[in-house]
Structure formats: structure tokens, C-alpha cells
Amino acid sequence: MNDFTPTLPDIGAAFRAKLAEVVGKDAYIVPQNQDANPDLKQILVINALNPSSTTTEEMGGRSGLAESRGMFSINLSYPKNNNPLFNSAWALAGKLAAAFRQLDLKAGSDDCFVYTEECSVTNVGDSFDENRKSLLVSVAWWAWTGGK
């Protein structure tokens, strides 16, 4: 790794910071790998960083840079049969998609960035909890990786 290549923990921290900034008090962000007791009558935000691939073409030879790509997934879970929260969840999904669209997000040191592309919103429908439905905001990203 070098000064231009953020680590996965740096990328995850950058996304979670932006997520908290955008969500504010509109919903409850479920903490990762921690016990939580959220109010199930509100919108719950569950997120995951999903690295997917690294290009095999390194630029500049074996010690050069390559692209790492992935998806930052934001799941908005809301109670079934609650039209005001249904509308709020859709509004929040749109707000998140707009906020994460085509960003140069600082990740780690001053010269490290993760770059986002277009975002999509999917109506997932019923969730694993039969009393809830969910929307999924998918944020495509890439960053430089490799180097010395």
C-alpha cells in the first residue's frame, strides 16, 4: 500500500461517517458488531461494505496501482402497514442516493480517497422479519490499491 491507497477499514469508516451525516435523526443506524435495542417502530439503517473485485491490470508494473471495486449497501427497514414511515423511508433512500452519488470521499490519509459512482434504490419488499419491509440503497465505489 502507498499514500494513495486507502485500506478497507479506512473506506468503511469514510462511508459510515457520511452515512451518519446524511441520516442524522431521520432514522436509527444499527451499530455493526454490537448489541443494540432499537425502537422497532422507526426506520432502521443497516449497512455493509462489500469489496467485490480488484483489477488484474496493474498500472506501472508489479509495484504499480490497480483498482479495487465494491458496493456499499444501505438497508432501510421499516414496519409494514405504516404509510408515513413508508414515505419517510423512500424519502431517506432518495436523500442517501443523492448524497453518495459521484463523491470523492476522503478515506484515511489526506491523499487517500474512495470514489463513488451512480447509486441505485431497490424496493426489496418483505424482509426476514415478517413485520417489516425494506429498501436497499446500493453505492458503487472504487479506490486505488497496491503499490509500495
Using an 8 Å Cβ cutoff, are 122 and 140 in contact?
A: no
Highest mean pLDDT among 13-27, 29-43, 62-76, 101-115: 13-27
Residue 4 CA to residue 7 CA, distance in Å, equals 10
What pTM, to 2 d.p., does this model score?
A: 0.87
CA nearest neighbour of 137 among 53, 61, 73, 81: 73
Residue 36 has pLDDT above 90, yes or no: no
> Could you tell me the pLDDT band of residue 40, with boundaries at 50, 70 and 90?
confident
